Structure 1
Amino acid sequence: MSIENIRQFIKDKAEQFGAKIDKEYSKAYVERNNTGKDALKDNGAYFGFIHPDEEASGPFHDFSLTIFPNDDNKPWLVCLGVGSSGFKNDYELATYPGLRRLFSKLVDERGFCKSDFSDIETSLPKSISGSEDLQHIKNTIKTYTKVLPVCQIVDEPESEAGKKIIATFVAGYAKLREWPTNNGHRNAISDALKPFLKSEILDDAEEIKNLLDERKYIVLQGPPGTGKTRTAKEVAEKINAKTFFTQFHAETSFSDFIFGIRPDLNNAELRYKENLGNFTLAVKYAKEHDNEKVLLIIDEINRANLSNVLGPIFYLFEHKMDRSNVEIEISPDFKINKLPDNFSVIATMNTADRSLAVVDFALRRRFAWYSMKPKVITSEKFFKDDFAKIQEIFDWYASSSELSLQPGQGYFIADSEEEMKNRVKYEIFPLIKEYLQEGLIRNAKEEFSNYFATRINQSLFE
């Protein structure tokens, strides 16, 4: 197995991805090579790339692309490493969630990815340090065990499969170092990463329909613009259900949703008449038409005080109630001990609205939760470049919880370029500005500022 062949291979890939081994070039790298005969006897043999500000020998700082080889036709270890001197220029980069998201997709069950890339105190797990596949380089791994945020075992580096893994790590390092300067570089990186970044394309409506058969009560949660309400209505059409619709708000009460009384405004004297809420109407219809499917859609379920709105009917939301010996009064002369089998609920919840009530765990247990994420859609009216840029910023800088703030695909649909610019200016720009003012996704402020300055000639910071 030729170490020199793989050394040349990763240098060719680096150049293909936009880098040069040239200190005067802004997209440069420094190659390290410690693969002498003595080193290859499990004595610290490695080669790869380090930060362009570092020297070709001696201790070094920051992220590196590091490969631990051998000349015995045994597995190698390909890694994203950190120099033994720790961080100097890359600490902030190490804190970006997108870096971990990227590399976590490049490893399989024979690899490892740390949960915190800035952590250079925690050793590798035994699945790597004690792996039977790596006993021939166990001392070398032990030397660097705390400074390897990501690693992947590669059985045959010169095979097509082995080169694909190595090329992917070089591509990940290229993104980290921002090597690409043109579309050719960017396309080459995308091609290298594509087999490892496959995202399953789901038909949300079909998935939710199948889940509804199993769980009956579902909450669709996600950022604004991801089509939650539209999808709920689409599911209703798919199952050919009689549909009841209501939207919760801060003043929604039990008397609105279940049962109450209201003044009879058509009577000369003060009289009251009963008011059946949408829940009661839907349940009554389901009981009277047991051959039909009945679906209640509750839009923005977490905008109301759910304890006040649901009251005692909360008990009924058990999709597998084995004992139904407690009767709940829904309205006068209407008591039930379980919800009809042909009755289902789809609720929607906006995860980006920070002012909404927190949903308690009891409700979470009674409902299934389906997350709807921003996604590319096939439409001539969909401005995919704007969507891709916003998605790229969120993916790289947003924490796991902040991903729920990303504007959905609905924000990027327009009939013309002028309309899309207005959507960016009057919808997306104010939304992002509000996020930043609340202290959210602060790491991305310069990226957002650059995007808006370029796209609509408007600054986030006045």
Structure 2
Amino acid sequence: MKPLLDIIHNELTDDWSEKNQQAFQSLFGANGGRYPDKAKKSVALRAPGFNKGSTGVPFSAYIHPSNPDSGAYGGMSFVLFPVEDAPCLVALVVGTQGLSPDEEVLSRPGHGRKVAAICRWLNRSVGQGQMVAWAKQEPVRTDLDVPDGIRRMFPAYRSVFDRYGKVIYGFYAPTTERQETERALKAFLDLFFSERGQYPLKAAEAEAERIRGDYFAHLMPDASEEEVRQLLAERRFVILQGPPGTGKTRMALRLKDAAYGGSGLTVQFHANTTYEQFVGGLAPLESDGAIGLQFAPRKGFLMEAAEAAQATFANGGKPYLLHIDEINRADLAKVLGEAIYLLEAQAETPRRVSLPYDFGAPFGRELSLPENLHILGTMNSADRSIAIVDVAVRRRFAFVKLWPQYRVVESQSGPLMKKAFIDLLSIFVEYASDDALALVPGHSYFLEADDRRAAQKLRTNLAPLLEEYLAQGYVAGFEEAIRSYLQWVESL
């Protein structure tokens, strides 16, 4: 990578074309290269010469070999844009001639998804609070320019954006740290060549996997118990959402036991959960008399939790957790009723609502939520039958996504489960729409060290879930890939 790094970080010179030819050749072959010699056939170099006084925008592009030797080109390309007084911009670009011959790669959701993950990783690891990378939501949208806000962040590359802003779909603006530039280069180039079916040589495999693992962590980021605890302390009302099997309920119960010292209440919502059950309402009284059926006010789960939290607050102020499992199984706006007004973590003054009945001490006919009452809901993103759609409800909760985590599978499972997890995750990452990606089965489906029991679990636990996805049409855009995966499971 040294010749490429020298080009990126050194001053622009008249021998631009020759230097890029040398850097290109150095990428291939076992004698110091990163990719096999055969990978050279999958790409062609376009690095036209230029004069320093030229008004054009110089570049060096790795393009599909089917393109002509000169003139406009099409398809996916890796491009360096040299500028005055700054390192070269490292970018992924759609040729100005259009998507062909890489329309299949560029239109696949996984390609844009991985470019975005690389950019998020670079912003976190290199930028540390400042943007150094940017990715377009959809690479194929060549009608969309680099946004004005992004342009203002990178004024050194204004000429590049003016000329090629609509076809750039991911870029990294190098800092002065050459080591960070090298990591970014390897991430972009490894992705670029893998989309051509070419992969790093054996000597670079381990490093390539580390880099891939680093940016994949930003494709499906993990949320720790400590992060959720801190969010509850700040926002009070939080919802954990994610695919089945990602440990949402397990995390909520662990938080209740560990962070709250067991001080809390767990309830589960379902389609028939009512306002009377959650907040409070009239309920029949047991009576041995002959008067007949009588009704009296009965506190719901929310009032019970508020009362317990109030008592806890009086005895030292420790927080109290109301855990609502499967919170999206009920129509939360109806279940909350007027109590939705109380779900304001940073209200300027204490909020109270009037109740239709007298519920006795400590509330009577007026309900308020003590400051030490926290609410944590869990929400299965694969359940499309009932979902939280009310904007007023969404505004009052902080939403945290829990994704499947390979590190959990890696530490607790055997070879078969690891392969099953990676293969299925790759299918969803590559082909699923954003909505369908939220359905990828979680890591709990893949936790088994013994391969014989693993095969049985895949057939009895995972396969029925995937078959239900197929029956409901949730994976219609890539159902053949899912069916092929199921055939493999059945063969175990």
Same structural fold, with TM-score higher than 0.5 when normalized by the shorter chain = yes
Instruction: Give the Cα separation in 1 of the matches to 2:211 and 2:332.
Output: 49
Q: Per residue, is there more helix in 1 or in 2?
A: 2
Instruction: Give the Cα separation in 2 of the matches to 1:452 and 1:344.
Output: 42
| CA apart distance, 1:110 | 4.4
Residue matched to 2:462: 428
User: Residues 5 and 427 of structure 1: is their aligned pair in 2 closer, same or farther, counting only changes over 3 Å?
Assistant: farther
The question of whether the paired residues in 1 share the 8 Å contact of 2:76 and 2:95 is answered with yes
| CA apart distance, 1:410 | 1.5
1:29 to 42, 48, 53: 42
Instruction: Give the Cα separation in 1 of the matches to 2:374 and 2:98.
Output: 56
Instruction: Give the Cα separation in 2 of the matches to 1:21 and 1:375.
Output: 34
| CA apart distance, 1:141 | 6.1
Instruction: Give the Cα separation in 1 of the matches to 2:79 and 2:166.
Output: 14
TM normalised by structure 2 equals 0.78
Matched length: 449
2:373 to 315, 320, 343: 343
Instruction: Give the Cα separation in 2 of the matches to 1:415 and 1:132.
Output: 53
| CA apart distance, 1:319 | 2.6
The question of whether the paired residues in 1 share the 8 Å contact of 2:46 and 2:63 is answered with no
The question of whether the paired residues in 2 share the 8 Å contact of 1:117 and 1:149 is answered with yes
| CA apart distance, 1:118 | 0.8
Residue matched to 1:252: 273
After superposition, what is the alpha-carbon deviation per residue over 1:10-51, rounded to whole angstroms, capped at 9, x for unaligned?
Answer: 4444555655457xxxx8323223333549945454333222
The question of whether the paired residues in 2 share the 8 Å contact of 1:219 and 1:368 is answered with yes
2:191 to 172, 181, 190: 172
Instruction: Give the Cα separation in 1 of the matches to 2:53 and 2:420.
Output: 49
Is residue 2:89 matched to residue 1:68?
no
Residue matched to 2:424: 390
| CA apart distance, 1:354 | 0.6
User: Residues 63 and 40 of structure 1: is their aligned pair in 2 closer, same or farther, counting only changes over 3 Å?
Assistant: farther
Is residue 2:392 matched to residue 1:362?
yes
Aligned partner of residue 149 in structure 1, secondary structure: strand
User: Residues 128 and 325 of structure 1: is their aligned pair in 2 closer, same or farther, counting only changes over 3 Å?
Assistant: closer
Residue matched to 1:296: 322
| CA apart distance, 1:82 | 2.1
Aligned partner of residue 458 in structure 2, secondary structure: helix
Give the gaps of 5 or more residues in structure 2: 1-5, 8-15, 124-130
After superposition, what is the alpha-carbon deviation per residue over 1:302-327, rounded to whole angstroms, capped at 9, x for unaligned?
Answer: 21233443333333333344144644
| CA apart distance, 1:350 | 1.1
1:215 to 229, 235, 241: 235
TM normalised by structure 1 equals 0.82
The question of whether the paired residues in 2 share the 8 Å contact of 1:13 and 1:170 is answered with no
Residue identity matched to 1:121: D
1:380 to 412, 415, 418: 412
The question of whether the paired residues in 2 share the 8 Å contact of 1:105 and 1:196 is answered with yes
After superposition, what is the alpha-carbon deviation per residue over 1:401-460, rounded to whole angstroms, capped at 9, x for unaligned?
Answer: 3222111121112353233223322332332343344443444334434433334339xx
Residue matched to 1:79: 91
Residue matched to 1:408: 442
The question of whether the paired residues in 2 share the 8 Å contact of 1:397 and 1:441 is answered with no
2:224 to 204, 219, 235: 204
Residue identity matched to 1:96: R
Is residue 2:167 matched to residue 1:147?
yes
Residue identity matched to 2:98: G
User: Residues 89 and 234 of structure 1: is their aligned pair in 2 closer, same or farther, counting only changes over 3 Å?
Assistant: same
Instruction: Give the Cα separation in 2 of the matches to 1:132 and 1:254.
Output: 55
> Once superposed, what is the RMSD of the aligned Cα atoms?
3.6
Residue matched to 1:456: 490
Aligned partner of residue 339 in structure 1, secondary structure: coil
| CA apart distance, 1:114 | 2.2
The question of whether the paired residues in 1 share the 8 Å contact of 2:333 and 2:393 is answered with no
The question of whether the paired residues in 1 share the 8 Å contact of 2:265 and 2:323 is answered with yes
Instruction: Give the Cα separation in 2 of the matches to 1:307 and 1:142.
Output: 48
User: Residues 220 and 196 of structure 1: is their aligned pair in 2 closer, same or farther, counting only changes over 3 Å?
Assistant: closer
| CA apart distance, 1:207 | 1.7
